């Protein structure tokens, strides 16, 4: 079999066979196919797409490229939560402790930033001392002891995805239904959880910009998950503007902690309770999602979820003192305020532009090798619907590289659209698939 033949076949809108897909996955993972040929095939897939059978075969091949985790030594129904990628999406740090506090074991593997979206592993590593790489035995012991552990994707779990994921991030091949599906579900199916809640983002700041695209992605992932014997639910949620007010690694962890203290922004609190309620339900600890949500709300009120966060951080070598003292995070040297040039209301706050601004400020990567500035990011003082006066601060950009912070501020200004009439409020949760 010849890689060039596969590239030409998909370029010309051909259908790749199971054998051809497995050839690509196996040999690219093994190193005999160079990045430039893999990039060419990914770009051909990006433009020509894949049918459902090709997508299923790609997912299966990537799942089978490494080990399938055995979490049977962890007591209870293990529930995983995954977001398709958004801006300011720090829900893992909120829903994980909430669900764990309600008796649902969380044994989760997460990824790094992709394109203009932030990555859970990058955010966790902003916590002083926090380890995202654990031996399998320690990982499972922590889940049994504390109810929760979240680690980076190991080299033995879907290694094909780890390699393809990094390449897509820097070759403009992120926003494709089949590539997103295979990336997410190969990891989820190999990670060993019994059930999966998928947060499928929809809007300007999502890889799926329309509700129709998001529903297609959600249904495809639910079908693949259920076919593999895992109860899978997809929640379609709005990503027209960033979630919460913080965008960037340590800034988002701080906001997540605030939310666990009951002081978080309304949107991130509402979404986290919805997702956690769904996890509690499919984890067998509630009769329906509504009861699951009530249990989630109680874990916030009682402080049980915050205590789980403390145990989670301590268990993985992080300093739990950050929960009370945010100054323990890496500080930023520079900050630039972005101010409004007119009065009115924020008509739009384009999530993708905010994500790019955060990336340009140093919070994300432009290449696979780039280092991330953990202190870089954005705090949004004004979001969609907020009244604003001329000269008022819309947002503040932070970081440790002056030029990057200034570049991020210029990019951020383009994310705001100010008008004279307050816009209608949009629903945060648009649809649930699989219930």
Percent of the chain with pLDDT over 70: 98
CATH number at residue 182: 3.40.1030.10
62 assigned to some structural domain: no
Sheet harboring 79-83: ordered strands across? 79-83, 195-202, 231-238, 429-433
- Do residue 314 and residue 334 come from a single domain? no
pLDDT in tens, 183-235: 999 989 998 999 999 999 998 878 788 999 999 999 999 999 998 999 999 99
Active site residue 63: no
Q: Does the residue 195 lie in any domain?
A: yes
pLDDT tens readout for residues 59-108: 999 999 999 989 999 999 999 999 887 899 999 999 999 999 999 999 99
* Look-up of token digits 């297609």: 216
As separate numbers, helices (DSSP H) first and strands (DSSP E) second, the chain gives: 16, 13
Q: How many domains does the chain have?
A: 3
Catalytic hit among 183, 272, 299, 358: 183
- For the cut 60, the answer to whether the pLDDT of residue 342 exceeds it is yes
- Catalytically annotated residue among 10, 108, 112, 168: 168
- pLDDT bracket for residue 368 (50, 70, 90): low
Average pLDDT over the chain reads 94
Q: Is the domain of 375 the same as that of 396?
A: yes
Residue 172 lies in a domain: yes
In 3D space, the residue among 388, 394, 391, 409 whose CA is nearest the CA of residue 335 turns out to be: 409
Q: Are residues 385 and 284 in the same domain?
A: no
Both 45 and 154 in one domain: the answer is no
- 238 & 105 share domain: yes
80, 89, 122, 161: which is the annotated catalytic residue?
161
Do 129 and 242 sit in the same domain of this protein? yes
Which CATH number covers residue 392?
3.90.1170.30
Please check whether residue 427 lies inside any domain of the structure: no
Torsion from C-alpha of 397, 403, 408, 411, nearest 10 degrees: 140
Q: Known catalytic residue: 82?
A: yes
* 191: annotated active-site residue: no
Whether residue 147 is contained in a domain is answered as yes
> Catalytic: 187?
yes
Asked if the structure places residue 190 within a domain, the reply is: yes
Q: Which domain holds residue 415?
A: 330-419
Domain assignment present for residue 107? The answer is yes
Of 10, 63, 82, 123, the active-site residue reads: 82
Q: What pLDDT, on the 0 to 100 scale, is given for residue 166? A: 86
So what's the pLDDT on residue 296?
98
Q: Taking residues 338-358, what's their average pLDDT?
A: 95
pTM equals: 0.89
- Does one domain contain both 148 and 279? yes
């Amino acid at each position: 079999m010849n890689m060039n033949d596969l590239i030409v076949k998909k370029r010309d809108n051909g259908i790749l066979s199971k054998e051809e897909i497995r050839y690509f996955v196996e040999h690219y993972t093994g190193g005999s196919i160079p990045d430039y040929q893999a990039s060419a095939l990914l770009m051909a897939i990006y433009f020509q797409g894949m049918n459902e059978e090709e997508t299923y075969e790609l997912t299966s091949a990537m799942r089978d490229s490494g080990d399938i985790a055995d979490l049977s030594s962890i007591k209870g129904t293990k529930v995983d939560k995954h977001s398709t990628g958004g801006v300011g999406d720090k829900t893992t740090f909120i829903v994980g402790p909430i669900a764990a506090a309600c008796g649902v074991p969380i044994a989760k593997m997460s990824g790094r930033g992709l394109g203009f979206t932030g990555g859970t592993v990058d955010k966790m590593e902003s916590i002083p001392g926090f380890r995202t790489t654990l031996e399998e035995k320690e990982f499972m012991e922590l889940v049994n002891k504390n109810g929760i552990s979240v680690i980076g994707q190991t080299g033995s779990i879907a290694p094909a995805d780890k390699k393809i994921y990094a390449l897509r991030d820097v070759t403009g091949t992120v926003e494709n239904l089949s590539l997103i599906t295979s990336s997410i579900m190969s990891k989820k199916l190999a990670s060993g959880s019994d059930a999966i809640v998928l947060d499928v983002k929809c809007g300007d700041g999502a890889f799926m910009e329309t509700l129709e695209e998001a529903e297609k992605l959600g249904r495809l992932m639910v079908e693949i998950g259920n076919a593999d014997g895992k109860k899978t639910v997809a929640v379609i949620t709005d990503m027209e503007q960033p979630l919460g007010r913080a965008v960037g690694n340590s800034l988002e962890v701080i906001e997540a902690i605030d939310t666990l203290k009951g002081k978080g922004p309304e949107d991130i609190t509402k979404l986290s309770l919805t997702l956690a309620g769904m996890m509690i339900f499919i984890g067998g600890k509630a009769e329906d999602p509504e009861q699951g949500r009530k249990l989630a709300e109680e874990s916030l009120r009682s402080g049980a979820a915050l205590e789980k966060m403390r145990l989670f951080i301590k268990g993985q070598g992080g300093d739990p003192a950050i929960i009370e003292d945010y100054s323990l995070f890496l500080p930023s040297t520079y900050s630039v305020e972005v101010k409004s040039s007119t009065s009115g209301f924020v008509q739009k706050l384009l999530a993708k532009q905010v994500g790019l601004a955060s990336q340009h400020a140093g919070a994300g990567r432009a290449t696979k090798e780039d280092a991330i500035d953990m202190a870089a990011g954005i705090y949004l003082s004004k979001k969609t619907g907020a009244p604003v006066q001329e000269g008022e601060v819309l947002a503040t950009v932070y970081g440790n590289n002056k030029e990057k912070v200034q570049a991020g501020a210029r990019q951020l200004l383009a994310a705001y659209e100010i008008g004279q009439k307050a816009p209608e409020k949009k629903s945060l949760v648009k649809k649930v698939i699989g219930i």
